[in-house]
A and B are shown apart, each in its own frame.
Chain A
């Protein structure tokens, strides 16, 4: 086996310091105290584009005193993604998440604590078949409530569906049955609580933060009742959280509190919930905006399933037109627009040095539309993933899931899930946009990107 020769790279050895290089250029237009924070909160993607245009592949932004160095372009992004945990730490890079997850759950735990934490075996390949069955069943349940025709809110519909699928697959089927629509509304409020003003202080007395904290308290309340009911469940029905709550420290006190387990639930859901839900919505919107691709996908699904095969079988196999449509929705509308790490010891790139203490970042929204890597980058073109072009093979440029060691571990699960959802949905119903096509857009005022309301589509049974 050949491992990359890491000792030759300038970022490998903190014991033998590399001489300091130049400081990265600073982006102009800083406001006193806030720096570029207001630009980040209003037009984040334009801000990242401005860094690339005015500073080049490396440029420093200022979020209320937090210095964030944006790396862009395939080469600089590769340096970022190949950074080790010891040098580039995810902890502390996302201060707006700590009040949501709660203390001691994810990003404020030390790397050691996290290494001992749960390694999610449920995402391994051997579990995918069972997950596919669950997702097909959950999609069918949502469809059963739709009736022959009507209108649906894309954000609400896919949020509710993916809450059920994610919890059933990652936590357990018993637990999923405890969930009601109130849960996805609570999650919506948590997600709305990711205002970048958290870079000033994540506990400021602002409406968005108060709503966030109320939503989290409500979730602890809801889950406490669930776990109390489940405490008497027979052993063979016990699932992940029941087991965690039954663990005891040597002195007999509980290892985890309901508050901590709530935090684990939030963190497990956060990675796969708004991301998959938003991607499902955008896939549908783009297919309806470009009806020729919509017709190709529906035709492909009709042909594949003509023999009566199961969704859970096909979702694990190739569905090229649909996969291209999903990948293109991901490229144009990545659910995470800024990936960040805290620099633990000096980070060197070409002649520049980012000193310890600052943040480095890469923007999927910026990268996925770089004209150097993608032909007609703003055009929705699912054919760019076909054999011969395969534009997603540029691992450090096509980065809706990130790249490198922290690439989204749920990427394969998410693709399978989206294939299962659309296999059922597009064969059961025909959809059309209920608003002018250009009115569907993302709300970028929070760090967690959400589809902006209204976002309505019409449907009728096929």
Chain B
């Protein structure tokens, strides 16, 4: 799986960071999401899916590639 973020949409709510701290961080300077692992380990799938689902601005996508 591959994580894609749309930084035009991100507002730094940091929900993704709460759901999947190994995959997402929020840059305090830009207040935007930073992807720590673009191709996260399969064991993190459930967390990443929650991050996608609960992102308040729907800025995260999960691609199967």
Q: A119-B31, A123-B13, A126-B18 are in contact. Are A4 and B58 (CB under 8 A)?
A: no
**Pick from B6, B13, B14, B15: contact of A4, CB under 8 Å:** B6
> Is there an interface contact between A1 and B13, defined as CB atoms closer than 8 Å?
no
Q: A395-B58, A407-B9 are in contact. Are A1 and B38 (CB under 8 A)?
A: yes
Among B7, B12, B14, B56, chain A packs the most CB atoms within 10 A around the CB of B56
| Interfacial residues of chain B within 7-38, with CB under 8 A of chain A in the complex | 7-9, 11-15, 18, 31, 34-35, 38
Residue of A nearest to B13 (CB): A125
- Please give, as numbers and ranges, the residues of chain A lying within 8 Å of B14 by CB-CB distance: 124-126
Residue of A nearest to B26 (CB): A124
Q: A126-B14, A411-B56 are in contact. Are A2 and B9 (CB under 8 A)?
A: no
A82 within 8 A of B: yes
> Is there an interface contact between B7 and A4, defined as CB atoms closer than 8 Å?
yes
- Please give, as numbers and ranges, the residues of chain B lying within 8 Å of A409 by CB-CB distance: 11, 13
Interface residues on A, range: 10 to 19
- Please give, as numbers and ranges, the residues of chain A lying within 8 Å of B62 by CB-CB distance: none
> Is there an interface contact between A125 and B58, defined as CB atoms closer than 8 Å?
no
Closest CB in chain B relative to A74 CB, distance in Å: 15
- Please give, as numbers and ranges, the residues of chain A lying within 8 Å of B15 by CB-CB distance: 125, 412
> Is there an interface contact between A395 and B13, defined as CB atoms closer than 8 Å?
no
- Please give, as numbers and ranges, the residues of chain A lying within 8 Å of B58 by CB-CB distance: 393, 395
Cα(A76)–Cα(B13), bound, Å = 26
Closest CB in chain B relative to A248 CB, distance in Å: 26
Cα(A405)–Cα(B35), bound, Å = 18
**Pick from A119, A124, A405: contact of B13, CB under 8 Å:** A124
- Please give, as numbers and ranges, the residues of chain B lying within 8 Å of A4 by CB-CB distance: 6-8
A25 within 8 A of B: no
> Is there an interface contact between A125 and B18, defined as CB atoms closer than 8 Å?
yes
A404 within 8 A of B: yes
Cα(A228)–Cα(B35), bound, Å = 47
- Please give, as numbers and ranges, the residues of chain A lying within 8 Å of B13 by CB-CB distance: 123-125, 409, 412
> Is there an interface contact between A1 and B5, defined as CB atoms closer than 8 Å?
yes
- Please give, as numbers and ranges, the residues of chain A lying within 8 Å of B4 by CB-CB distance: 2
A16 within 8 A of B: no
Mask of A122-136 contacts with B, CB within 8 angstroms, 1/0: 011110000000000
Cα(A259)–Cα(B25), bound, Å = 38
Q: A119-B31, A123-B13, A126-B14 are in contact. Are A404 and B38 (CB under 8 A)?
A: no
Mask of A287-312 contacts with B, CB within 8 angstroms, 1/0: 00000000000000000000000000
> Is there an interface contact between B9 and A404, defined as CB atoms closer than 8 Å?
yes
Tally of contact residues, B, Cβ under 8 A: 19
Closest CB in chain B relative to A318 CB, distance in Å: 10
Closest CB in chain A relative to B56 CB, distance in Å: 4
Cα(A123)–Cα(B7), bound, Å = 19
- Please give, as numbers and ranges, the residues of chain B lying within 8 Å of A411 by CB-CB distance: 56-57
> Is there an interface contact between B56 and A412, defined as CB atoms closer than 8 Å?
yes
- Please give, as numbers and ranges, the residues of chain A lying within 8 Å of B5 by CB-CB distance: 1-2
Q: A1-B34, A126-B18, A395-B58 are in contact. Are A405 and B11 (CB under 8 A)?
A: yes
Cα(A271)–Cα(B35), bound, Å = 30
Cα(A124)–Cα(B35), bound, Å = 18
Among A2, A123, A395, A411, chain B packs the most CB atoms within 10 A around the CB of A2
A3 within 8 A of B: yes
Mask of A378-409 contacts with B, CB within 8 angstroms, 1/0: 00000000000000010100000001110101
Cα(A191)–Cα(B47), bound, Å = 43
Among B4, B8, B31, B34, chain A packs the most CB atoms within 10 A around the CB of B8
Residue of A nearest to B2 (CB): A2
- Please give, as numbers and ranges, the residues of chain B lying within 8 Å of A403 by CB-CB distance: 9
- Please give, as numbers and ranges, the residues of chain B lying within 8 Å of A404 by CB-CB distance: 8-9
> Is there an interface contact between B8 and A82, defined as CB atoms closer than 8 Å?
yes
28 A–B contacts from the bound complex (CB under 8 Å): A1-B5, A1-B35, A1-B38, A2-B4, A2-B5, A4-B6, A4-B7, A82-B8, A119-B31, A123-B13, A124-B13, A124-B14, A125-B13, A125-B14, A126-B14, A126-B18, A393-B58, A395-B9, A403-B9, A404-B8, A405-B8, A405-B9, A405-B11, A407-B9, A407-B11, A411-B56, A412-B13, A412-B56
Q: Which 5 A-B pairs have the closest CB atoms?
A: A412-B56, A1-B35, A125-B15, A125-B14, A82-B8
- Chain A residues within CB distance 8 Å of chain B: 1-4, 82, 119, 123-126, 393, 395, 403-405, 407, 409, 411-412
- Chain B residues within CB distance 8 Å of chain A: 4-9, 11-15, 18, 31, 34-35, 38, 56-58
Question: Can you add 13 more A-B contacts, CB < 8 Å, to A4-B7, A124-B13?
Answer: A1-B34, A2-B4, A2-B5, A3-B7, A125-B13, A125-B18, A395-B9, A404-B8, A405-B9, A405-B11, A407-B57, A409-B11, A411-B57
